[in-house]
Amino acid sequence: MSQSPSGSAEHVLTRRGLLRVALLSAGATLAAACSQPTPPVTNAPPTSAPAAAPTQSGAAPPAGAPTQAAAAPAPAPTQPGSSAPAQQAPASSTGPVEVSFLTTQTNDADVKIYQQLSDKFHQENPNITVKISATDGTNYDQKLLTYIQAGTLPDIVQTSDNFAKPFKDAGVTQDMIPYAQKTNFPYMDFDPTFLNLGMVDGQLHMLPKEGDIILPFINLRMAQEAGVSPPTDFDPAKNPDGWTWDDFMNMCKRLTVDANGKHGDEDGFDRDNVAVYGASMSIDAWYTYVPAVLANGGTFVADDLSHSTLNSPEGVAAFKRLTDPVIQGYWAPLTLIQSLSNQAGNVFAAGRAAMAPLQRLWCTTLRASLTDDFDVLHYPKGPSKRITGMGTFGFALTAKSKQPDAAWQFLTWMYGEEGMSIITASYAAVPAMKRFYDSSFWRDLPPPPHSNAVFVDSFVYGTTPPRLPFYSTGDFRQSVTDGMTAITLGKSTPEEVVANVDQVLNKYLKDQQSA
Amino acid sequence: MASTSTVAAQRPASAETATVWRPARLHRRDWLWALLFLGPNLVLFLAFTLGPMLYGFGVSFFDWNMLQPARFVGIGNYVQFFIGDQLTGKVVGNSVYYALGALPASVLIPLGLAVLLNAGVRGTGLFRSIYFLPLVASVVAASTIFKWVYAKDFGTINQITGLFGIPRQDWLFDERLVIPALIVVSVWHRIPLNIILYLAALQSVPRALYEAARIDGAGAWAQFRHVTWPMVTPTTFFVLIITVISLTVGGFDQVSVMTQGNPLNASNIMVFNIWRTAFVYFQMGYASAMAYLLFLVVLLFTAVQWWLQRRWVHY
């Protein structure tokens, strides 16, 4: 390259000079990088003193005004118990307002429901547009943390029991009790079990969208062909000791059919060539193994979360009870579940299993993909008691919401009768508010399933996940998955696996206490 | 023979270039133009590549779960990898098995196919299109399909082998079979790009060299050995470099979709373990340390290959 006509030396850059500048820049960046990384989020500013845990009779209000008070809706109370805050105008919005709403339910049917909610709400509240967006739930927490960093956190986000505390701590969500109180939203009408999943330190960080409980779904055609009479009219209130785990396993064996047409309870059954499994179970999911331990009369963790209590004869028996049927060929093997997107329900939906413990959420998929009639049963009673997993996910107002009033207005409408009618019309949800337990808008939907009462009658024996620091216990969960896999592959015994899981869990509980 | 003449033929041009080249001096105006064209890319590179890389290096010296303040642990994360993590041996072993298992086939099969395609057989255009297909299929989609192909209960492979009375295999849930199963998919996906590279190299080999070899009485194998192979060694070197890098730092999407590291970590390779440590276990510092160790390994392999190339690559 030729020199410039001016030839002035001070304007000439040599490669060496350029390299020097580049090295200095890189060094400076490296030095900056080696400084202590700043957490991407800061904790939310301290809010009010923790209120008492909500009870049926009503929660004590927060002692002080929340820090978000400035953004709280202007007092325009409706009648107590009413859930019609849609009549209120948002305090801070005089013109058109857009509310952003993020869900992790990405399939078309779910997105369509949320869009219907948005459209209907907009019809009634022309000033407010709710923009629905859906993102895959993988690394959801990380995505929200990134949104915070970018300043693009939506006004309303989906959350769950496991995320309620981490999201509060990370400043993702905010306490919704002040909003509920100012708008007389009857949040105490939520079933307390579900409501408590969203309560963190006396603050409400999740409005439960639905009541999810794990119940055995059964393929009625397969039952009929196997000569099985599923207890669809069983009532545990009338017969507490009826419909036991042994009954359930006998039914599983009978429903299992090998490639030669032999049932699981017949001589010559070939467990290596099974055409239809009796059941498909997510044995490494908390909602399966935790209730299994409790149903055996054992406990999972000490009440004060100080240590694990899993390593007990009851714990070992529970792990054995969950893995033996897989080894014997009565339940779908883990490899088949893995082949079908790691969802035990997919095996049932594909007609490869006659039963599967699932939540109502699956009804939409099953009605679309399973050509056979199906129904739902109560969970069978274990040696000690009848218990199954229950939980929910829900929605929360974010701490960085730009339109908290309008967002809250949409939430209260969504949780009212109109919103719930739209949500439950897809068969995907059971209302989590007690006043809707008997509502015809979801109870009288055409079958299948036929026995809708089971979905709410079973709430009395459901258990929610233990309050473990699940958020940071990836390797604990992995130890359960690996342990169950090792047992079914004959690489380990239930005793060894339970001892290992217990050890990993104790490590986390100890870390949590020391933190 | 032919390689010597080719090298000799190429040398003058490069030697001439070398003698003419001088350290460039940029005038201010040129500098501005250079900045104008390079600037956007440099900004993006600094912001989204170099910056995060250096940030990750810094993070590797901390214990950090993204939610709580980071705690400085010095080289603790690096020490943990070598002496404190029971999974290290297994994960490294899996990674080496996966990379070394896929490497020869990823290089030799494309070379063989490229030679055949270059021979001008009938339907070459069709074959080229067919071999190109895996490249345009996303790894996630291909991995999903292969997951079903390998499925024990309903997979295509077991259905076909079952016709011959061969017992069904649990390809993705058997500790002995899972890595070979992944290797097959990996090779399948890498073949097209390497075929294209080899085809380009083969088509640039002067016909005169083959004619000369034939006059000298060389058969097909001798032509390949003494003409084709030396002439494509620069491409082979390039293919080796990119394949080693992609096998070492790649494979995540494949493992994530097909096995999730199962069963019992038998398919847990380094890059998947880094992801799981970071985004499932939320141990950002340890994951960053592992990522940097992986980076060093790749750098070392590449440097060794550069050093060795003088012995076998003919330019």
Domain count, chain B: 1
Give me the helix-helix angle, B156-163 and B139-150, nearest 10°. 30
B151 domain residue, yes or no: yes
CATH of residue A481's domain is 3.40.190.10
* Interface residue A475 vs chain B (CB under 8 A): yes
Using only C-alpha atoms, chain B has a radius of gyration, in whole angstroms, of 24
Specify whether the CB–CB gap between B260 and B268 falls below 8 A.
Answer: no
Contacts of residue B10, Cβ cutoff 8 Å, sequence gap at least 6: B315
Would an 8 Å CB–CB cutoff place A237 in contact with chain B?
A: no
Chain B residues close to A485, C-beta within 8 Å:
262-264
Contacts for A31 with CB less than 8 Å, ≥ 6 apart: none
Is A476 part of any domain?
A: yes
Rounded distance between C-alpha atoms, residue B259 and residue B183, angstroms: 13
Residue A472: the pLDDT is 54
Within this chain, do residues A189 and A262 fall inside the same structural domain, yes or no?
A: no
Residues forming beta bridges with residue B295, ordered by sequence position = none
Q: Is the pLDDT of residue B96 over 90?
A: yes
Partner residue opposite A12 with nearest CB, options B25, B147, B153: B25
Q: Which of 144-183 (B) contact A at CB < 8 A?
A: 147-148, 151-155, 170, 172-173, 175
Q: Would you say how long chain A is, in residues?
A: 515
Task: Mark yes or no for CB contact B173/A3 under 8 Å.
Answer: no
A6 in a structural domain: no
pLDDT of residue B24: 62
Inside any domain, residue A346: yes
Tokens of A127: 């000033």
| A355 shares its domain with A312 | yes
How far apart, in whole angstroms, are the C-alpha atoms of residue A417 and residue A411?
A: 12
**Contact state of A145 with B66 under an 8 Å Cβ cutoff:** yes
- Please state, in angstroms and rounded to a whole number, the distance separating the CA atoms of residues A364 and A181: 35
Residue A258 CA neighbour count, 13 Å, CB half: 15
Asked if residue A29 belongs to a domain, the reply is no
Q: What is the pLDDT of residue A47?
A: 29
Measured CA to CA, the distance from residue B214 to residue B222 in angstroms comes to 9
Is B115 a member of any domain? yes
**Distance between start and end Cα atoms, chain B:** 14
Q: Is B20 a domain residue?
A: no
**What is the extent of the structural domain holding B217?**
79-312
Q: Please check whether residues A374 and A325 belong to one and the same domain.
A: yes
Q: Which residues of B touch A484 (CB under 8 A)?
A: none
Q: Nearest residue on chain B to A143, judged by CA atoms?
A: B279
pTM: 0.78
* Helix (H) / strand (E) containing B63: strand B62-63
Domain of residue A221 covers 213-389+453-514
Q: Which residues of B touch A145 (CB under 8 A)?
A: 66
Using the CB atoms, write b or e for B243-267: b if 16+ within 10 Å: bbebbbbbbbbbbbbbbbbbbbbbb
* Minimal-distance CA residue of chain B relative to A141: B279
Q: What tokens were used for B211?
A: 């004619």
Yes or no, beta carbons of B263 and A471 under 8 Å apart: no
How close are the terminal C-alpha atoms of chain A, in Å?
63
Residue pair A414/A122 in contact (Cβ under 8 Å)? The answer is no
Same domain, A371 and A504: yes
d(CA A123, CA A419): 13
CB contact under 8 A, A39 and B70: yes
Q: Enumerate the residues of chain B whose CB falls inside 8 A of the CB of residue A471.
A: 67, 282
Number of folded domains that form chain A: 2
Same domain membership, residue A206 and residue A221? no
What pLDDT score does B232 carry? 93
> Residues A261, A266, A268, CA angle at the centre, nearest 5°?
75
Q: Is A33 on the interface with B (CB under 8 A)?
A: yes
Let me know: does A41 contact B63? Beta carbons within 8 Å: no
pLDDT for the residue numbered A151: 87
3-class secondary structure, A44: coil
3-state secondary structure of B25: strand
Q: How many CA atoms lie within 13 A of A420 on its CB side?
A: 26
Single residue among A436, A469, A504 that ends a domain in this structure: A436
Segment B35-42 mean pLDDT: 90
Does residue B124 lie within any of the structural domains?
A: yes
Task: Look at residue A448 and give its three-state secondary structure.
Answer: coil
What CA dihedral angle connects A99, A101, A107 and A112, to 10 degrees? -30
> Which residue from A minimizes the CA distance to B257?
A341
Across the interface, whether the CB atoms of A335 and B151 are under 8 A apart is answered: yes
A-interface mutation test, from B20, B21, B22, B27, most A Cβ less than 10 A away: B27
Question: Mean pLDDT score of chain B, rounded to an integer?
Answer: 87
CATH of the domain at B151: 1.10.3720.10
Return the residue in A29, A138, A173, A335 with the most chain B beta carbons within 10 A, the one to mutate for interface testing. Answer: A335
A385 and A247 within one domain = yes
Evaluate whether residue A47 is within a structural domain: no
Mutation pick from A29, A200, A272 vs chain B, by most beta carbons of B within 10 Å, is: A29
Kindly tell me if the per-residue pLDDT of B4 is higher than 70.
no
B8 in a domain, yes or no? no
Among A42, A173, A338, the residue to mutate for chain B (most B Cβ within 10 A) = A338
DSSP assigned state of B251: -
- B63 vs B195: CA distance, rounded Å: 45
Residue among A36, A172, A270, A507 with most chain B CBs within 10 A, to mutate = A36
CB-based contact, B64 to chain A, within 8 Å: yes
In a domain, B42, yes or no: no
- pLDDT computed for residue A364 by the predictor: 87
Predicted pLDDT at B117: 87
Question: Can you give the length of chain B in residues?
Answer: 315
3-state SS class at A150? helix
B232 within 8 A of B315, measured Cβ to Cβ: no
Q: Give the pLDDT score at B1.
A: 36
Q: A179 and A290 share a domain?
A: no
Q: How far, in Å, CA of B299 to CA of B276, rounded?
A: 23
How close A327 comes to chain B (CA, Å)?
14
- Nearest Cβ partner for B69 among A32, A39, A471: A39
Sheet of A374-376, strand order = A355-358, A215-219, A374-376
Helix A245-255 / helix A313-328 crossing angle, nearest 10 deg = 10
Domain contains B210? yes
Nearest to A199 by CA among A164, A226, A223: A164
Residues of A in contact with B25 (CB under 8 A): 1, 3, 12-15
Residues in A closer than 8 angstroms to B56, CB to CB, are 33
User: Within A102-191, where are the H helices?
Assistant: 108-124, 140-150, 161-169, 177-183
Mean per-residue pLDDT for B206-217?
92
Task: Tell me the C-alpha to C-alpha distance, in Å, between residue B298 and each of B49, B63, B100, B302.
Answer: 17, 25, 13, 6
What distance in Å separates residue A42's CA from the closest CA in chain B?
A: 8
Distance CA B123, CA A107 (A): 43
User: What pLDDT score was predicted for residue A16?
Assistant: 55
Which chain A residue has its CA at the smallest distance from B21's CA?
A: A1
A149: contact with B, CB 8 A cutoff:
no
A26 touches chain B (CB under 8 A): yes
Give the number of other Cβ atoms within 10 Å of residue A91's Cβ. Answer: 17
How far is residue B243's CA from residue B248's CA, in Å, rounded to a whole number?
A: 8
In a domain, A354, yes or no: yes
For residue B182, being part of any structural domain is answered with: yes
Tokens of A502: 């217990």
Which CA distances in Å does A163 have to A46, A206, B155?
Answer: 19, 9, 37
Weakly modelled stretches of chain A, pLDDT under 70: 1-94, 469-473, 515
What is the DSSP secondary-structure string of B142-206?
A: HHHHHHHHH-TTT-HHHHHHHHTTPPP--TTT-TTTHHHHHHHHHHHHHHHHHHHHHHHHHHTS-
The sign of the torsion formed by the CA atoms of A368, A372, A377, A380 equals: negative
CA dist., res. B22 & res. A493, Å (int): 72
Query: Is A13 within the bounds of a domain?
Result: no
- Among residues B201, B200, B194, B192, which one has the least CA distance to residue B228? B201
Residues A331 and A355: their CA atoms lie apart, in Å, by 9
Question: Looking at residues B111-118, what average pLDDT do you find?
Answer: 90
Q: Do A380 and A400 belong to one domain? A: no
In a shared domain, residues A201 and A220:
no
CB < 8 Å to B58, chain A = 30, 32-35, 37
Question: Using CB atoms and an 8 Å cut-off, which of residues 27-56 of chain B contact chain A?
Answer: 27-31, 46, 50-51, 54-56
Residue holding tokens 């250079």? B34
Q: Is the dihedral of CA B202, B207, B212, B214 positive or negative?
A: positive
User: Which residues of chain A are within 8 Å of residue B282 when distances are taken between CB atoms?
Assistant: 471-472, 474
**How many CB contacts within 8 angstroms connect chain A with chain B?**
128
| A447 found inside a domain | no
Among A210, A161, A188, CA closest to A432 = A210
Query: Could B173 and A338 be called an inter-chain contact, meaning their C-beta atoms sit closer than 8 Å?
Result: yes
pLDDT tens-digit map of B18-32: 455 555 666 778 888
A341 and A318 inside one domain: yes
